Amino acid sequence: MKNKIKPASPALVLDAISDMMVAAKECAQFEQAEITKRTYSNNQKEVAIEAIRAKRDVLLAALEMDHQLNKEKIDKSFDVINKAMETGDLKMLELGLGSMLKVAETSSLVQLQKLVQDESNIIDI
């Protein structure tokens, strides 16, 4: 005894095809929505990266300018220290060393080190 498969009614076949078409459209819409989300996410990432690059460039320029300024101050401090040692002027030597110490304490590198060590300044990407 063989089981015979009954042919499906045309209405049932049309319903199945219609359901498949609806599912295919929903799948295509979902896929397009995911592509849009990915594109938006990639765009946001690129914007964030550009903002970081811009901040980096500003920081590097500021450090370069500060470095040049500190170099000039330290050179002047050394001039004072050298002159004080040549003349034996201890007061001038104290002022020159104090000046150099002040430059070192207010250096942008010291400030940068404090920022790096401060855990609340972590950049979140």
Q: What is the pTM of this model?
A: 0.49
User: Quick one: pLDDT band at residue 125, thresholds 50, 70, 90?
Assistant: very low
In tens, the pLDDT along 19-29 reads 899 999 999 99
User: Does the CA dihedral 42-45-50-56 come out positive or negative?
Assistant: negative
The predicted-structure confidence for 55-96, as pLDDT tens digits, reads as follows 888 888 888 888 888 889 999 999 999 999 999 999 999 999
Domain spans, the chain: 10-121
pLDDT at 112 over 60: yes
